[in-house]
Amino acid sequence: MSLLDAHVHVWDTSVLDYPWLAGVPALPRRALPADVDRADGRTTRMIFVEADRAPDRGLAEAEWVDAADWPELAGIVAFADLTASPDLDALAAVDRVVGVRYSLQDIPVEHWNVPALADGLRELARRGLTFDACVRHPQLPALAALLEQSPETHVVLDHLGKPPLDAGLDSDDGRAWHDALHRLAALPNAHVKLSGLAAETQDAAAYARHADAYIAVGVEEFGVDRAMIGSDWPVSARTGVGTTMAAWADRVRGATAVDDEDWAHIAEETAARFYGV
């Protein structure tokens, strides 16, 4: 069965500046569409997700990706600062832009501009654009409170909310993650990406011991029709314990123990429906 990879990054530092890469020597300075892990041919479509380029270059990044030689590219999740009245008209003019990501993971929750964010999320809904929510697990309750102010927005939680891999689901942090995930899943337009866990720990034993439980809970809470798979390439391939898309897809299917019909939702159909591709 083919895959729609719902979370792929590409970049070229000779084209655009990605300041964060200076602190991650394991990642290449050029990660191009031709290099993407295609799961031994199983991946037939992909969604590009903005890669945290310099903050004033979100439109340029979307235009560069849209012009790339990338036959499998189905959609672009572009950067827009939802707190700063972004030019969504300009983004929408890029053919394959289907959504927006404004990453919150490095902003302390007490510094979130909640009124502006809620207004921005409602504007995305009005325009038919999706929102990729990128946070760390301690921020999940604040994210839930924010999204409850704009329940009409179609949102996907990236990387299962970056759960505490080393601690495990039965830890205090793991239970808090589960409680927050349950709250998010109560929003009918909220979805979850089964992605990114390999980058969340350096401990291969902890990853082997705990990853499946987090995956299973994500699907249990959201259901197969609101869960989608993503590689998080190249971040999850080159950092943390690392993984390939083929190995990740096999892990997700094994952890969820779904039949072919349900797997089709996780593998392709949920992302296609969510992003309108």
- How far is Cα 27 from Cα 37, in angstroms, rounded to an integer? 14
Instruction: Give the gyration radius of the chain's Cα atoms.
Output: 17
Domain, as residue range, for 179: 3-275
Task: Give the per-residue pLDDT at 63.
Answer: 98
Task: Assign residue 107 the CATH number of its domain.
Answer: 3.20.20.140
Query: How many Cβ atoms from other residues are within 10 Å of residue 215's Cβ?
Result: 25
**166 burial via Cβ count (<10 Å: 0-12, 13-18, 19+):** middle
- How far is Cα 253 from Cα 68, in angstroms, rounded to an integer? 31
- Rounded to two decimals, what is the model's pTM? 0.98
H or E element that contains 176: helix 172-185
What does DSSP say about strands 30-31 and 11-12: parallel, antiparallel, or unpaired? antiparallel
- How far is Cα 238 from Cα 261, in angstroms, rounded to an integer? 32
Task: Give the per-residue pLDDT at 101.
Answer: 98
* Full pLDDT tens readout for the chain, 277 residues: 899 999 999 999 999 999 999 999 999 999 999 999 999 999 999 999 999 999 999 999 999 999 999 999 999 999 999 999 889 999 999 999 999 999 999 999 999 999 999 999 999 999 999 999 999 999 999 999 999 999 999 999 999 999 999 999 999 999 999 999 999 999 999 999 999 999 999 999 999 999 999 999 999 999 999 999 999 999 999 999 999 999 999 999 999 999 999 999 999 999 999 999 9
Task: Give the per-residue pLDDT at 1.
Answer: 86
Our count of domains for the chain comes to: 1
Task: Give the per-residue pLDDT at 3.
Answer: 98
